[in-house]
Chain A
Amino acid sequence: MSALPFTEHLAGAYEAAAGSLPGAKDADVVARRKAAIAAFQRLGLPNHKLESWKFTGLNALERQQWTLPANDGSVDPARLQAAALNADSHRLVFVNGRFDAAASKIGSLPKGATLLPLSQAAGNLADVLAAAGDKREISLSELNAALASDGVVLLLEDGVVLDKPVEIISFGVPALVNLRHLIRLGAKAEATVLESYRDGGASEKLAGWTNVYAHVAVGAGARLAHIRLQAESDAAYHAALGRVSVGAGARYAHVSVQGGAALARHELHVDFAGSDAEVDVQGLVLAHGSAHLDHTLFLHHAVPDCRSNQLFKHVVDDHGHAVFQGGIRVAPQAQKTDAQQLSRTLLLADRAQIDTKPELEILADDVKCSHGASIGDVDAQQLFYMQARGIPVAEARRLLLSGFAYEVVNAVPEGALRDHVEAFVEGWLAANSEKGGLK
């Protein structure tokens, strides 16, 4: 192992790969990527000393010398079948961080809709690679901008409605994969997007690192249901940052399920750009082994008359460690804001742990804001109730856990999508129960 510092090593990886990244011939894109890698080198990885990274450290990432994945690769059909939605969809599959045309099925799109892999969206590259901000807290998004090898560009013009869900599936590989998405809905447009991050199965032992950045803009009166399923291999690292702006009268519903990876963080920043908008963010964490799974949110109510709701549930087993940080800021002018937040946790093992930090910053007076948190084991009375009715204790526990998780699963749009997410959650619970966990 060479002794190069982490950031320099990655800068080297960028130099080596620069020629083969999308937009390598476009001088503006190259300049932007160079600036991004320089910014990452300057800022460095976020660490414990930053308030928003207090509970999650990235030392494990620093210990490895990351390589970028090979340019080709394909996915085992059985694995794809298992990961894909059991319904018609606009499907984009990424293997090794590259668009896999053979496995994908974009299908026909209505007029005014654009859906492309980033590698084929030359005209949108500069837009997609735009910086999220110059802060150490989000420096991984600059690393992502420099190294992004692919991603999804979804653009809907005003009033365009996508009937079928857009399905994005990425298979993790033992390398550093950078995907960058741009989702932009015009006024009154409607879409449903499912992002799945799956175990590529190339090597069970080697860890991969998937680094995702998504920019989402929901136009006035538009509706976007955005579901995220993080089901990477238990050895993998996963870091995702989402930047969402929500226009007047729009609705953004996000469900994030994390049930894989050794270390994962999904950070979501939501800005209210127009009044009367509604945001519903729900999350479910299923942590076993020594998984460290983090959800960090910042909801910025900058305009009046908006509503937001957050519900996060955590099931933590073994040595698992769940983190929930939910920031809400209500600006002085954002009167009539209604912001609710609830975090609930079940700790199922002696060494399981949870750190939660809701953070409410309220500068307007005519608001309704509340947050709550509860932490404990499965309720003994509920268990007793079920046992008294002849249900074996293991099954009773699993039923209670299903019920606990179902509240979040229920936020996924009905039909094939919800079935898909539910199947994953039930599968996780069944597998852990069989292994002798969840006690």
Chain B
Amino acid sequence: MAANAQTIETVEGLAGEYKYGFVTDIESELLPKGLSEDTVRFISAKKGEPQWMLDWRLRAYKSWLRMAKEKGEPGWAKVSYPEIDFQDIHYYSAPKKKTLKSLDEVDPELLATYEKLGIPLKEREILAGVAVDAVFDSVSVATTFKGKLKDMGIIFCSMSEAVREHPELVQKYLGSVVPVTDNFYATLNSAVFSDGSFVYIPPGVRCPMELSTYFRINEAKTGQFERTLLICDKGAYVSYLEGCTAPMRDDNQLHAAVVELVAMEDAEIRYATVQNWYPGDKNGKGGIYNFVTKRGACRGARSKISWTQVETGSAITWKYPSVILQGDDSVGEFYSVAVANNAQQADTGTKMIHMGKNSKSTIISKGISAGRAQNTYRGLVRVMPGAAGARNYSQCDSLLIGDRCGGHTVPYIEVKNRSAKVEHEATTSRISDDQLFYCRQRGLSEEDAVSTIVNGFCKEVLQKLPMEFAVEAQKLLGVSLEGSVG
């Protein structure tokens, strides 16, 4: 896949302008800007939620007010942005996207990017916002799948639907991993969350397919405050994919999502994310603020939760997918690639809290900075006194491309048990001239050489992605870093 000069220019052009990232010509039902108790009540009413859900939201809203008054936004992460005016945000919009009739109406530059990423034609249409015709009706496809899942007892639906249809499950698990008052953004999310996915896998069931948000791509957009709850009962297994490699159009600047995972005895959850939201222009103007709280609880013995993420988009990423290892012999994994180019800022990492005996965790984090970007790994490994025989291995490597970017590492390690074994390694380096020369000598263009080297650097993480994602993610890394060398 040789990148010729023209495509590079095209993509650079996209990075510079990305004008299709922020279309505002949407007809939608907008709630006026601002956040108050009425906003919360309105959102709840709009979704036809029962009283308990509204009470839950209001409790969160009150806590958030207190947090905002006492401390304000958390300031410890290594990111800087102007203060967010929370009264200057729309908290509810029921979008009715203006749809295009065919791909011919879509900007050719955007199509070129899809082409480079190797996204199937039909998916391109959906991503570009083209009305989906009868040939590829994802609704019907989704319905077919849903039927199959339903037969197995698997619940996979939107959060709003779950609140209506499965209140007992939602009440039991919602907020049980990420408490309402967990942190500023999680609390805000709890008050005003728009929608998200709900998954329940019954005991002993192995989910036969990768669950993906793709299925719901043409349902109502989940909006900026997404809430996901995934429960894997005893002995069950599920693999969940979130996001997609294509640049996503989005109209909201602030995103504060919450994802909660619960794994019971012998259950296994694999959660993969590819995030490529609008990163802003070359000078960091615009772009998404992505403040996400993701946490999984390994409740039962021998349960396993694995996070894999490829983060290339967003102006600011603030995200620490964590695992609370409560069960004995439980396993937590975190594989991450975070790319920050131009003026992007990423502060990401994980927390592994060992409580159960012989619990194990692995952390592999690869941070790549280019341009003027700042990329921070911030992680915590905590071994509680009861976690005898706990084991952790962490590795976080940073790759710097260019002399104006920064790569930072802040791992916290707190061990309160003597039988624990904890190891941590970290390196920072750059692409050496030798490596580049070697590739160039063999006829690779500079861009391809960088892409090859970076993919090698990230190999351990990319291997953990589900097949179809892995291929796209590799290309994505190349595209994200184009224009960063030379």
Contacts and interface: CB of A to CB of B under 8 A. Distances in A.
A362 interface: yes
B418 A362 contact: no
B417 A347 contact: yes
Interface in A369-423: 369-377
B222 to A, nearest CB: 35
Contacts of A365: 400-403, 405, 430
B415 A363 contact: no
B430 A348 contact: no
A362 B415 contact: no
Interface size class of A (residues with CB under 8 A): 35 or more
Most interface-central of B78, B401, B425 (chain A CB within 10 A): B425
Interface stretch (A156-164, A215-223, A349-357): A349-357
Contacts of A353: 414-416
A360 B410 contact: yes
A332 B427 contact: no
B410 A367 contact: no
A372 B426 contact: yes
Contacts of B424: 358, 371-374
Interface string B386-426: 00000000000010111111111111111111111111111
A350 B416 CA distance: 8
Contacts of A376: 420-422
Contacts of A372: 423-426
Chain A at the B interface: SS class: strand
B427 A356 contact: no
A369 B414 contact: no
A142 B217 CA distance: 61
Most interface-central of B402, B413, B419, B421 (chain A CB within 10 A): B413
A359 interface: yes
A352 B385 CA distance: 9
B414 A370 contact: no
B421 A358 contact: no
Contacts of A347: 415, 417-418, 420
Contacts of B76: 51
B427 A361 contact: no
Contact of A363 (B406, B419, B427, B430): B406
A205 interface: no
Nearest to B392: A375
Contacts, number: 111
B176 interface: no
B410 A357 contact: yes
Interface string B144-169: 00000000000000000000000000
A174 B408 CA distance: 43
A357 B76 CA distance: 15
B36 interface: no
Nearest to A363: B406
B429 interface: yes
Contacts of A139: none
Contacts of A360: 407-410, 426, 428
Contact of B411 (A332, A349, A357): A357
A62 interface: no
A77 to B, nearest CB: 41
A350 B404 CA distance: 46
A416 B472 CA distance: 64
A48 interface: no
Contact of B421 (A51, A348, A355, A375): A375
A364 interface: yes
17 contacts: A332-B403, A332-B404, A347-B415, A354-B414, A354-B415, A356-B412, A356-B413, A356-B414, A358-B424, A360-B409, A360-B428, A361-B78, A362-B406, A363-B405, A365-B430, A367-B428, A375-B415
Interface of A: 51, 332, 335, 345, 347-377
Given A372-B425, A374-B422, A374-B424, 11 more contacts: A335-B403, A350-B418, A354-B415, A358-B410, A359-B409, A360-B428, A361-B406, A362-B408, A370-B428, A371-B425, A377-B419
